[in-house]
C-alpha cells in the first residue's frame, strides 16, 4: 500500500489519497489524529507540500506516525518549498508555520542530536529553484 497524505485536489493513481478536507479522495482524515492503518503495512508515503503547514513538534508527530505504519525499509517522501531560494513561495503563504532549507532534513534522522521515537535515514535530498525533496528510509 502507498499513501498520498495531504493530497488536496491532486489525487494520485496507485495511492490511497488522504486529506483532512473532502475532495472526493479515498480517506478524509486529519493526519494529526493518526493514520487509520496497523503497524508495518505501508510501503511508501508521499507528502507533497504538507509539512510546512505544521510546527516542528507536529512534524515530528506526523513523521512518527508515518514510521509506525511503514514497513521496515519503507519510503517516506517529503517535498516542501525551498526557503533559501524561493522566498516568495515559502513565506508568502500565511498558513506556512515551518520553513526549510536542505540542512533542515537531517534534524529528522535517527542519528541527530534531537532524539525521536522513530528511526529514519535520509536516503536522498534533491533541490531545485523552488522546492526541496527528501526521501527517508524507515529503520526498524
CATH number where 49 lies: 3.40.50.150
- How far is it, in rounded angstroms, from Cα 75 to Cα 138? 6
Quickly tell me which residue has 488522504 as its cell: 18
Per residue in 61-98, pLDDT (tens digit) is: 999 999 999 999 999 999 999 999 887 788 999 999 99
Q: Give pTM, 2 decimals.
A: 0.93
pLDDT in tens, the chain (140 residues): 999 999 999 999 999 999 999 999 999 999 999 999 999 999 999 999 999 999 999 999 999 999 999 999 999 999 999 999 887 788 999 999 999 999 999 888 877 766 677 889 999 999 999 999 999 999 99
Domain count for the chain: 1
Kind and range of the H or E run holding 19: strand 16-19
User: 120: domain range?
Assistant: 2-138
Amino acid at each position: 500500500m502507498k499513501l498520498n497524505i495531504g493530497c488536496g485536489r491532486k489525487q494520485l493513481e496507485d495511492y490511497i489519497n488522504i486529506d483532512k478536507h473532502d475532495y472526493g479522495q479515498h480517506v478524509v482524515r486529519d493526519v494529526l489524529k493518526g493514520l487509520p492503518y496497523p503497524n508495518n503495512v505501508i510501503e511508501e508515503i508521499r507528502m507533497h507540500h504538507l509539512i510546512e503547514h505544521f510546527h516542528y513538534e507536529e512534524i515530528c508527530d506526523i513523521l512518527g506516525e508515518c514510521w509506525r505504519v511503514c514497513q521496515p525499509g519503507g519510503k517516506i517522501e517529503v517535498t516542501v518549498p525551498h526557503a533559501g531560494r524561493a522566498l516568495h513561495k515559502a513565506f508568502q503563504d500565511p498558513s506556512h508555520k515551518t520553513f526549510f532549507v536542505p540542512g533542515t532534513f537531517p534534524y529528522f534522522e535517527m542519528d541527530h542530536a534531537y532524539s525521536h521515537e522513530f528511526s529514519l535515514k535520509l536516503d536522498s535530498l534533491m533541490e531545485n529553484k523552488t522546492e526541496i525533496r527528501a526521501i527517508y528510509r524507515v529503520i526498524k
